[in-house]
Amino acid sequence: MATQSPRLWRTDSVDSLASSVSQDTVDQNGGYTEYHPITLSVEKPSLLTGYLILCASAAFLVIGSWATLISAFMPHTGIWALDVLAEDTHYKYFVLLLVPTTAYFVIGNWVGWQYYRNS
């Protein structure tokens, strides 16, 4: 007996399936064509992409830490963007707390989707 490949998706079209059913023709696979595994070619991210993500994360950490923790104890710097963050008392916390809140939502959504798919 021949081994069969994993059945992940069908390669026949709806028209060919309808014609095979309407003519009552059944092949060896029960009227369906062979299934083929999905193959995706995904390129690895470049080293530059990794460095950009690392630098953006470090800049977010430094600016966020300065805006929430250090700016309350320091005088104005003369840099407009940093002074606006220092004078703000509400939205500088909103931006920083948006990151973990979004992460919790994404993780919860993923877990719920896994429960749905595997139930």
Predicted confidence (pLDDT) per residue in 39-65, tens digit: 666 788 899 999 999 999 999 899 888
* % of the chain exceeding 90 in pLDDT: 26
The pTM score is 0.46
| Sequential DSSP letters for 64-117 | HHIIIIIGGGS---S-HHHHHHHH-SSHHHHHHHHHHHHHHHHHHHHHHHHHHH
Structural domain including 21 reads 1-42
Position 21 confidence tier, pLDDT thresholds 50, 70, 90 = very low
pLDDT surpasses 90 at 76 = no
* Most confidently predicted of 29-38, 68-77, 108-117: 108-117
Q: Please tell me whether residues 87 and 60 are part of one structural domain.
A: yes
Same domain, 76 and 105: yes
Total structural domains within the chain: 2
For 81-97, the pLDDT digits (tens) are 888 888 887 777 887 78
- In contact, 71 and 82? CB cutoff 8 Å: yes
**59 plus 13 within the same structural domain:** no
| Band (35; pLDDT cuts 50, 70, 90) | low
Residue-wise pLDDT for 95-113, tens only, equals 778 889 999 999 999 999 9
Say whether both 102 and 53 belong to one domain. yes
Q: Which residues contact 96 (CB under 8 A, 6 or more apart)?
A: 64, 67, 68
- 63 and 113 both lie in a single domain: yes
Average pLDDT, the chain: 76
84 Cβ neighbours under 8 A, 6+ residues apart:
none
**What is the pLDDT at residue 38?**
65
